[in-house]
Chains A and B, each alone.
Chain A
């Protein structure tokens, strides 16, 4: 479905930008209220629900036994996919995975994979024969803006609570999936000419390009992505990178706190 971008909305967003304010009154680097809940789904080996403003996202982790790739006989595998099903909003339609949902899944996948938080060798059961395949499926139920951050957060939170169901597959005792790190994504959207954190649906509708930054525990970059039409300057990146660092530390604390409970 074609979204008609109302000229009035763009004008309003530009006007607000001049006063350094936003449609919902938030500060430029202020995120919406959000909640994180883990282990909320029966049948998933790890699960998480994230509500960020009006965006609702679930992630579930499943395991399967598979034969390793011939060139990596001692390594398991990781797959992360996102589904933007029609349930998520008026603009989503049924059909094969859209380019947007593929981008979403792959950006989240890269952040987790490249952070090295999963030791692929630890997923090996019998070298050359049997390894674990870890599958993270992300289900977007309600898109009211910034699904990337919600999906990234749900995925890592679900992984961090996952139990490897070894007993069910007759390969030992159930145990916690070993995870060394909490990669977190922070996303910025150009709205009214300048970048803001955690854009709402309206801001995305009347905004331009977005930038996604995934940072690991040490503050290192693990995944970057620029999406949609638009360009940015190195100075703009330097500014949002600084914000991303603070944001990721905050969210990481919330994931850790939820894990303790």
Chain B
């Protein structure tokens, strides 16, 4: 991150290369219940990112050693399809996807009422079909809608959003070029109703002021995305307009 200082990411008038304002996110669309085989599912497009999430369970937790006597475990698999990036990815797990799966699972375990399902497992499958920076956030958003679609009780849904820094300027929702050549990236998972944070990662270089501004942008975006999430669920369950 931040190693390529000579790439221009802001126009001379201060706007971003794709014309967005500093605190403007890419367009987001969400559809719930798109995979008939799953108990709950969702597809989220965020800019050119496409993420699909499926939820199975609660079901018996196996292998036995992952069982918890007092609660359910959430088993998350974040996976990028081989054709989701510009160079093909070899199928299978790698260190990056393992780490993202782990912290995503821990984030979801903090909002799902896992105590209701002792000794069981809830499987959350996140498949990235097209990647354009920010896939872990899009995956979290998709997973939340899929869990809600599956009727799994939660304290709140988690909204995945990211802000970052390009050319010493804090901006909301980095696109691919901004992510590749920018100076920092701050992906978070926000609980819009309680204002809490369930997922946090960051890399790059941010001052405290920059961190605070980036968080401010993230909370603003989380609110907008949350409305789209709720709307998707309403469309699915009210059978009509929200």
Report which A residues bind B (CB closer than 8 A).
Answer: 41-44, 47, 53-56, 58, 60-62, 64, 81, 83, 85-90, 94, 96-97, 135, 137, 139, 141-144, 168, 201
A-B contacts, 30 of them at CB < 8 A, read: A41-B50, A41-B83, A41-B130, A42-B50, A42-B132, A43-B48, A43-B131, A54-B37, A56-B35, A60-B84, A62-B83, A62-B87, A81-B91, A83-B81, A86-B77, A86-B125, A87-B38, A87-B77, A87-B125, A89-B38, A135-B82, A139-B127, A139-B129, A141-B52, A142-B35, A142-B41, A142-B54, A144-B36, A168-B86, A201-B37
Question: What 0/1 pattern do residues 63 to 82 of B give for CB contact below 8 A with A?
Answer: 00000000000000101011
Partner of A142, one of B37, B50, B88: B37
Which of A44, A54, A58, A64 is in CB contact (< 8 Å) with B36? A54
User: Which residue of chain B lies nearest to A41 when distances are taken between CB atoms in the complex?
Assistant: B130
Q: Which of A53, A61, A141, A201 contacts B35 (CB under 8 A)?
A: A141
What is the distance, in angstroms, from B209's C-beta to the closest C-beta of chain A? Answer: 35
B117 in contact (CB, < 8 A): no
With A56-B35, A144-B37 known as contacts, the answer to whether A42 contacts B81 (CB < 8 A) is no
Residue pair B54, A141 in contact (C-beta under 8 Å): yes
What is the bound-complex CA distance between A96 and B36, given in angstroms? 25
Q: Which residues of A contact B129 (CB under 8 A)?
A: 41, 58, 60, 139
A56 CA / B83 CA spacing, docked (Å): 17
Bound: A58/B52 CA distance, A: 12
Could you tell me if A86 and B123 are in contact, using CB atoms closer than 8 angstroms? yes
Cα-based distance from A137 to B128 in the complex (angstroms): 13
Q: When the two chains form the complex, which single residue of A42, A47, A90, A168 contacts B37, counting CB atoms closer than 8 Å?
A: A90
* Cβ B83 vs Cβ A83 within 8 A: no
Q: 1/0 per position for B111-136, CB-CB distance to A under 8 A?
A: 00000000000010101011110000
B37, A143: Cβ atoms closer than 8 Å: yes
B1 within 8 A of A: no
Kindly provide the distance from the CB of A135 to the nearest chain B CB, expressed in whole angstroms: 6
Chain B binding surface SS class: loop
Distance of A140 Cα from B132 Cα, bound (Å): 22
B78 to chain A, nearest CB (A): 11
A61 and B81 CA atoms in complex are apart in Å by: 11
Residues of A contacting B85 with CB < 8 Å? 43
Give the shortest distance, in Å, between A21 (CB) and chain B (any CB): 22
Q: Is the CB of A56 within 8 A of B56?
A: no
Please give, as numbers and ranges, the residues of chain B lying within 8 Å of A41 by CB-CB distance.
Answer: 50, 83-84, 129-130
Partner of B83, one of A44, A86, A141, A168: A44
How far, in angstroms, from A144 to B54 measured CA to CA in the complex?
14
Pairwise interchain contact B91-A137, C-beta atoms closer than 8 A: yes
Complex formed: what's the CA distance from A188 to B38 in Å?
Answer: 25
Given A86-B77, A137-B83, answer yes or no on A43-B34 (Cβ-Cβ < 8 Å).
no
Q: A60-B82, A86-B77, A135-B82 are in contact. Are A43 and B37 (CB under 8 A)?
A: no
CB–CB A94/B77 < 8 A: yes
Taken together as a complex, chains A and B put the C-alpha atoms of A58 and B34 apart, in Å, by 13
* Residue from A44, A87, A97, A201 within 8 A of B127 (CB atoms): A87
- Given A41-B129, A142-B36, A60 contacting B81 (CB threshold 8 A): yes
